[in-house]
Structure 1
Amino acid sequence: MPKVTPGLAGLNALSPPRAERELLACCASRAFARAVAAGRPYGDEAALTAAADAAVRALAWPDVLEALAAHPRVGEPAGGPSRAATWSRAEQSGAAGADRRVLAGLAAGNARYEERFGHVYLVCATGLTAAAMLDRLEARLGNDAEAERAVVKEELAAITRLRVARLTTDPAGEAR
């Protein structure tokens, strides 16, 4: 029998506007939040995760850009006390204490990436060192726009999956 956590039960019980606000911490696209909130109630975390994954993959590019606008540059920790900022700092913890040269490389790479693609470089940074994030950034600079959009959606989906799991299982991330 699938486990139903208090966080999932709490998310299922929220009003649609409140559920959307909670889900925006997972992916800052209003279209994403509306789609996932509208699919409630979810029987288990797997169903919620599948719905979140499908919602990210269905986003139109302007909706992806809306989500990207909420992400800090890699190597520049998010400020503020919000749940999304707290999660972002944890996700990018591999950049904390990195060598100055690697951090300078990330800063320069972020600028080149933004110049080339017009938006922040997004990578699912959980478990990656700053050097690995930089290596991926440099490799992706060779992508054309269409290929990079596909990679960005995959990275956004990966981040969203992690955050949805936190929303329903982490006491600090529980929907209230």
Structure 2
Amino acid sequence: MTMADFNASPPQEAEEGLLACCAVPRWAREVAAGRPYPDPETFAEDAIGVLDGLSWDEVLTALAAHPRIGERAAGQGREASWSRQEQSAAATPDDAVKEALVSANVAYEERFGHVFLIRATGRSAGEVLQAALDRLGNDPAAERAVVRRELAAIVRLRLEKLVNP
């Protein structure tokens, strides 16, 4: 879909596309309501601005739509497909790294109460693992800030996919 196609789409269709980028209904409604956007850059900036205003409960809703790092997203939808693509670079045939990622995910979820979120695109499995281990040392407030940055990075990538054929 192009930017023009997105701008011209019915509100429900626009919101459905946006929900594949971030699974927060209020965010999708507000971003769709901001149409028309003159270009993909303005679209992304405005969408991230709305994302920055999400409550922590809304961020948790977004996180709940993301599979654990190292787990394959189920389903046939756009979001699942994008998630599989995003995590493919961090996939590894190394069983020790896979096991360490599982352990890091469990420790992270026990510490912070939600899935470990990271923009995996362009990162190796070892880099993702190291980031998870490093972030376990964060206090909850610092980790929330990191989660918001990582979510914004993922959403930005997905917005680009949404409006660039």
Scaled to the shorter chain, the TM-score interval is over 0.9
1:1-176 maps to which residues of 2 (within 5 A)? Answer: 7-170=2-165
Cα deviation digits, residues 101-132 of structure 1 (max 9, x gap): 11100101000100110100000000111110
Aligned mates of 1:37, 1:98 — CA distance in 2: 40
What is the DSSP-based 3-state SS (H/G/I as helix, E as strand, rest coil) of the residue aligned with 2:115? coil
- The superposition leaves residues 64-118 of structure 1 with CA deviations (integer Å, 9 ceiling, x where unpaired) of 0110000000011101111111111111012323311111001010001001101
Cα distance in 1 for residues equivalent to 2:68 and 2:87 = 10
Between the aligned partners of 2:93 and 2:65, the Cα distance in structure 1 is: 23
Give the structure-2-normalised TM-score: 0.97
1:173 match: none
Q: CA deviation at 1:41?
A: 0.5
* Other structure's SS at 1:75 match: coil
Q: Which runs of 5+ in 1 are unaligned?
A: 1-5, 171-176
Shift of 1:30: 1.0
* In 2: Cα distance, 1:93 partner to 1:149 partner: 25
The answer to whether the 8 Å contact 1:124/1:155 transfers is yes
1:15, distance to aligned residue in structure 2 (A): 1.8
| SS state at 1:56 partner | helix
Give the aligned residue type for 1:19: A
Task: Determine helix, strand or coil for the equivalent of 2:127.
Answer: helix
Relative to the length of structure 1, the TM-score reads: 0.91
Q: Percentage identity across aligned positions?
A: 52
